[in-house]
Structure 1
Amino acid sequence: MFEKVLVANRGEIAVRVMRACEELGIGTVAIYSEADKDAGHVRYADEAYNVGPARAAESYLDQEAIIEAAIRADADAIHPGYGFLAENAEFAARVEATEDITWVGPSSESMEQLGEKTKARSVMEAADVPIVPGTTEPVTDPEEIHEFGEEHGYPVAIKAEGGGGGRGIKIVNEPDEAEEQLESAKREGEAYFSNDSVYLERFLDNARHIEIQILADKHSNVRHLGERDCSLQRRRQKLIEEGPSPALTDDLREQISEAARRGAATADYYNAGTFEFIVEDTNRNDDGLLGEDTDYYFLEVNTRIQVEHTVTEQLTDIDIVKWQIRIAAGEELTVAQDDIQLEGHAMEFRINAENAANDFAPATGGTLDVYDPPGGIGVRVDDAQRQDDALVTDYDSMIAKLITFGEDRTECIARGKRALADYDIQGFPTIIPFHRLMLTDETFLEGRHNTKYLDEGLDPERIDAAQERWGPEIVNTENGDDEDVVEREFTVEVNGKRFEVNLEERGAPPLPTNGSNQHNPRPSSSSSGGTKRGGSSGNSSGSVTTEGEQITAEMQGTILSVNVDEGDEVDAGDVLCVLEAMKMENDIVASHSGTVVEIPIQESQSVDMGDPLIVID
């Protein structure tokens, strides 16, 4: 078994992996960016190393810096978590090629074969697994989309080869949209996965999203751990996941599960992975369920642990992360397929720092003035934050996961209602009010929702009412009373390795620190401190030098493209630039006609809310 594992990730998943390591008697190493120097995963680890600035491309995606940190820490394995480099076959190969360090995941060859969607489709065809009609070669020309649409009909889905988590997917509803959506999908693929290759699929308009958890070892043992239903999505971003699916008969779930196991075996896959399927929700039986004659299609393989792996762990009592580590160390699975049974019902609620009543806009800053997670029987919380922590807005908006478990779906939902009501987060909005609404929603309670329900079937006014009823009051506590005794925590780095120094101030004014490193005063009984920051990575745009109307950033994000040049004439509604924020592309448009007189930004630059983007005269 390994002696020390570096977790190449952040937030709750980094802590989740470290907890598994701790139970196995393995030391842990964290990496962190400048924005995360006070983060929970850094506090939890045995040791931590700074790998770069806030911008992910210069820190959490810096392969060389991460491997160098592992070597310096004398780690003998790297676990990637999910997101960032978790499905990057090149990074896996670099780790595999590094002496005395083991990659905790599938082989780089399997990741390349199954991680790129067109190759995965070919493998599934060979394994006799149904696939959605689509292309098996990358698409580069809008005319290819036109031809595909004429043959299979619209809408057409354009998908990034390396995509996942709803990113790199664009829907073409009519031929005129093909060129714009193709460029957008390629741009997202390059930005998120360093791969602008895309392919096409027939877009299934009325479907459920079902995924099968796989565990396989290096001794040709392949097991499936049942299914999860991830149909409650907004813009292809999952919000609530559950298992077993409330829509499938036992016969259909067994068909899909065996198809996934067959596909994994054909691909010589090992470690944890998720095989995702689309199930057509068209012909339900007299019990309101989808039976064995229902059409289902392979969607993709996620060659990593999933956000919603917790659902399967609750149903099977199998620690998937521990088995990832054991398999990487060469151990053989000790459980037979027939011994794996799904008991009860589980749901996972993603606790995102977003305002559901404001089109799920991510919070742009704030501090956890109150953080009081729920407990009790049948309740699990995976998180990394603690009270007084600052919200880091440079990355994903998910701050925690709430998982509830019951003897059946009814009890699971009842525990979900209780736990969500008990979950007290103050300082910025979260989607807890939205989750509480869904547990009263008739369509969801009956299990009749599909992947388009939130985007097309749910009345937005109900979300507004839920936010008003259950949302927190945002109170500014910036100028609180001075404390007689204040403990301050300082970070010292020696050769890039993090050390913490604690200092008590008694009856003295706060010690000055410089810029973004200033900590808020906190009582000496507090276990952690937060840094006040608005999410800037230090690369935000500067002041403008010309007169005119400034088009400013409505949220913190990264400039993906600049569509105009100085001197261009623009009309109201023209797209000036594209801003990526919290996995979403946002078109920044001209509010009126005029001439572009200044562009104080450039592609790949990070900007803060309120920063000037374009000046129009």
Structure 2
Amino acid sequence: MFEKVLVANRGEIAVRVMAACEELGIETVAIYSDADRDGGHVAYADEAYNVGPAPASDSYLDQETIIEVAERAGADAIHPGYGFLAENAEFARRVESTDGITWVGPSSDAMETLGEKTAARSVMESADVPVVPGTTEPVDDAEEVRELGEEYGYPIAIKAEGGGGGRGMKIVHSDAEVDDALESAKREGEAYFGNDSVYVEKYLDAPKHIEVQVLADQHGNVRHLGERDCSLQRRHQKVIEEAPSPILDADLRAEIGDAARRGVREADYTNAGTVEFLVEDGEFYFMEVNTRIQVEHTVTEEVTGIDIVRWQLRVAAGEELGFEQDDVTIEGHAAEYRINAENPAEEFAPTPGTLETYRPPASIGVRLDHAVGQGDEIGGDYDSMIGKLIVTGEDREHCLDRSKRALEHFEIEGLHTTIPFHRLMLDDETFVSGEHTTKYLDSELDATDLDAAVEQWGPDQTDSDSAGASATELAVEVDGKRFDVVVEDGLQQVPSGGSSGGSDSSGGVSGGSSGGQQTAAAGAVTAEMQGTILSVEVAEGEQIAQGEVICVLEAMKMENDVVASTSGTVASVPVSEGDSVDMGDTLIVLE
């Protein structure tokens, strides 16, 4: 077994890997960027090393520096977690070629084959696994995409070869949308995965998203650990995952599990991975392989009792899987709720801020994977995840009832989160019945329901709700009974001299202005969040209409179109592609 493992990641997944290492008696090494000096994964590790400034490209994606740190620390293995370099075959190959360091994951050759979606489709076809109709070679130009649209019929999906989690995927409904969608998919593929190659496939109308967890060792053993249902998605991003799926019967479950095993065996795959399928009208189609541990691996662990991360380490160390396929049994039901710093009432826009209150739930059936605490800052440099709430029950109904209790007792103040959305879903007939598909949230959920959920269950007050306003929480007793009350705009402070007048210490009238806050120029369109400018769509002197996209802003790994709030002529454009901006910074000025 390894003596010291460097975890090339951050946040909750880094802590999850470190916990498995700790149980195996392995020392751990954390890496961190300037933005993560006080990160939870840094505190958990046995030792930690700075790898660069906040931008991921200068830190968590710096392959050379990470390997240098591993050698400096004396690590004999590197675990990539998920995201960042986890599915980067080049990085895996560099680790494999470094003396004395083992890559905890599939071989770089298998990663390269299955990480390129067109090659993966070919492998699956060879293994007699059904695939969605589409190309097995990358597409290069818009005219080729239009021809495929005519062949398959719209809608079609343009997907980045190295993509995953919905990033680098654009849905095209007509010829007119092809050019913009192709450019955006290629741009996201390059930005997130360093590969602007894309392919095209038929977009199924209302599928279920079913994925199968696999483990394979270096001795020819391949096991699947059952399936997860990840159909509840928003803009192709999973938000609630559960195991097992509520819609598979025993025969279809066995067919999909066997197909997953055949596919990874055909690819000569080892370690942990996930084979993803789309299921519609009783038929299933291969979609992609994720050559890493996944965010939602937790629900599989809960219903099988198998520690997947622990087995990743043991397989990488050369051990043989210690169980047969028939030994894998599914007991009970588990669901994972991604607790993200996002505002569901504002199209799930990222909401960086401070965890002024952070009291997660506990008690029976509740697991929490996180790396934060009260007072921590949730910045905009990386993804928006705060943590993952995993709930288990005897069956799905029990699991959902228990989930209501857990989410009700999950207290977060200081920023918006997805908790109100999750609570809404647990009262949603379509989700509770298990009839939801990947299209449900984007096409059928009423936005007014989200507004009401945030109003009912969202934070009492956040910085973005009211500039300059404040609220104070107090506990008071009346006739021996405790009441929690909120005093809006703070408590009036009586100075020691006894006066209760409304002047501040400098003699000015308090509450009248925002003090040092900057005021944007008249006609300015400002950034609503911290992020990076991916593209600027307008130029000085250009006439634009209300609602027109002026730039694309990346925040917390999400592309956000910034639109003009009014018509006018572009007077100036103070930002350019690649610039970092803060909330309130001017993006363009209209006249």
Q: TM-score of the superposition, structure 2-length normalised?
A: 0.89
Higher deviation after alignment, 603-612 or 341-350: 603-612
CA contact (8 A) 2:461 2:471 kept: no
Pick from 301, 312, 335: which aligns with 2:289?
301
Q: In the TM superposition, what is the alpha-carbon distance from 1:246 to its structure 2 partner? A: 0.5
Q: In the TM superposition, what is the alpha-carbon distance from 1:595 to its structure 2 partner? A: 4.1
Show the counterpart of 1:549: 523
Pick from 568, 573, 591: which aligns with 1:599?
573
Alignment of 1:310-329 (within 5 A): 310-329=298-317
User: What is the aligned length?
Assistant: 542
Show the counterpart of 2:512: none
Letter in 2 for 1:199: Y
CA distance in 2, matches of 1:319, 1:410: 25
CA contact (8 A) 2:273 2:293 kept: yes
Alignment of 1:214-233 (within 5 A): 214-233=214-233
CA distance in 2, matches of 1:352, 1:80: 22
Q: In the TM superposition, what is the alpha-carbon distance from 1:264 to its structure 2 partner? A: 0.5
CA distance in 2, matches of 1:567, 1:426: 43
The question of 1:380 aligning with 2:354 is answered no
Q: In the TM superposition, what is the alpha-carbon distance from 1:78 to its structure 2 partner? A: 0.7
The secondary structure found in structure 2 opposite 1:81 is coil
The question of 1:390 aligning with 2:377 is answered yes
CA distance in 1, matches of 2:298, 2:355: 24
| 1:327-366 deviation per Cα after TM superposition (whole angstroms, max 9, x unaligned) | 111111010001111111110011111111221111132x
Q: In the TM superposition, what is the alpha-carbon distance from 1:470 to its structure 2 partner? A: 1.5
Show the counterpart of 1:235: 235
The 1:142–1:314 alpha-carbon spacing in structure 2 relative to 1, beyond 3 Å, is same
Alignment of 1:525-540 (within 5 A): none
Q: In the TM superposition, what is the alpha-carbon distance from 1:561 to its structure 2 partner? A: 1.3
Pick from 560, 572, 591: which aligns with 1:586?
560
The secondary structure found in structure 2 opposite 1:12 is helix
Show the counterpart of 2:21: 21
Show the counterpart of 1:120: 120
CA distance in 2, matches of 1:153, 1:192: 29
The secondary structure found in structure 2 opposite 1:276 is strand
Q: In the TM superposition, what is the alpha-carbon distance from 1:173 to its structure 2 partner? A: 0.4
Show the counterpart of 1:459: 446
Higher deviation after alignment, 367-376 or 14-23: 367-376
Gaps of 5+ in 1: 283-293, 482-541
Q: In the TM superposition, what is the alpha-carbon distance from 1:615 to its structure 2 partner? A: 2.7
Letter in 2 for 1:616: L
CA distance in 1, matches of 2:49, 2:338: 28
Q: In the TM superposition, what is the alpha-carbon distance from 1:466 to its structure 2 partner? A: 1.6
The question of 1:576 aligning with 2:550 is answered yes
Q: In the TM superposition, what is the alpha-carbon distance from 1:549 to its structure 2 partner? A: 2.8
Letter in 2 for 1:3: E
Pick from 450, 463, 474: which aligns with 2:437?
450
The secondary structure found in structure 2 opposite 1:274 is strand
Q: In the TM superposition, what is the alpha-carbon distance from 1:75 to its structure 2 partner? A: 0.8
Q: In the TM superposition, what is the alpha-carbon distance from 1:151 to its structure 2 partner? A: 1.1
| 1:54-85 deviation per Cα after TM superposition (whole angstroms, max 9, x unaligned) | 11111111111111111111111111000111
CA contact (8 A) 2:115 2:289 kept: yes
Gaps of 5+ in 2: 473-517
CA contact (8 A) 1:36 1:392 kept: no
| 1:454-498 deviation per Cα after TM superposition (whole angstroms, max 9, x unaligned) | 1112222222222222222126799999xxxxxxxxxxxxxxxxx
Letter in 2 for 1:314: E
Show the counterpart of 1:431: 418
Pick from 306, 321, 327: which aligns with 1:333?
321
CA contact (8 A) 1:543 1:600 kept: no
CA contact (8 A) 1:229 1:244 kept: yes
CA distance in 1, matches of 2:462, 2:573: 36
CA distance in 1, matches of 2:27, 2:116: 33
The secondary structure found in structure 1 opposite 2:256 is helix
Pick from 402, 416, 422: which aligns with 2:403?
416
Letter in 2 for 1:402: L
Q: TM-score of the superposition, structure 1-length normalised?
A: 0.85
CA contact (8 A) 1:543 1:612 kept: no
Alignment of 1:145-164 (within 5 A): 145-164=145-164
Sequence identity of aligned pairs in percent?
A: 68
CA contact (8 A) 2:540 2:572 kept: yes
Show the counterpart of 1:615: 589
CA distance in 2, matches of 1:603, 1:414: 47
| 1:76-96 deviation per Cα after TM superposition (whole angstroms, max 9, x unaligned) | 111100011100111111111
Show the counterpart of 2:266: 266
| 1:374-423 deviation per Cα after TM superposition (whole angstroms, max 9, x unaligned) | 11111110000011212222111111001111111111111111111111
The secondary structure found in structure 1 opposite 2:377 is coil
CA distance in 2, matches of 1:438, 1:548: 41
CA distance in 2, matches of 1:312, 1:615: 51
Q: In the TM superposition, what is the alpha-carbon distance from 1:313 to its structure 2 partner? A: 0.2
The 1:455–1:257 alpha-carbon spacing in structure 2 relative to 1, beyond 3 Å, is same
Q: In the TM superposition, what is the alpha-carbon distance from 1:600 to its structure 2 partner? A: 2.1
CA distance in 2, matches of 1:453, 1:587: 22
Pick from 459, 469, 477: which aligns with 1:472?
459
CA contact (8 A) 1:55 1:606 kept: no
Q: In the TM superposition, what is the alpha-carbon distance from 1:429 to its structure 2 partner? A: 1.4
Letter in 2 for 1:433: P
The 1:567–1:457 alpha-carbon spacing in structure 2 relative to 1, beyond 3 Å, is closer
CA distance in 1, matches of 2:206, 2:13: 32
Letter in 2 for 1:600: P
The secondary structure found in structure 1 opposite 2:587 is strand
* Higher normalized contact order (CA 8 Å, seq sep 6+, divided by chain length): 1
The 1:576–1:471 alpha-carbon spacing in structure 2 relative to 1, beyond 3 Å, is closer
The secondary structure found in structure 2 opposite 1:52 is coil
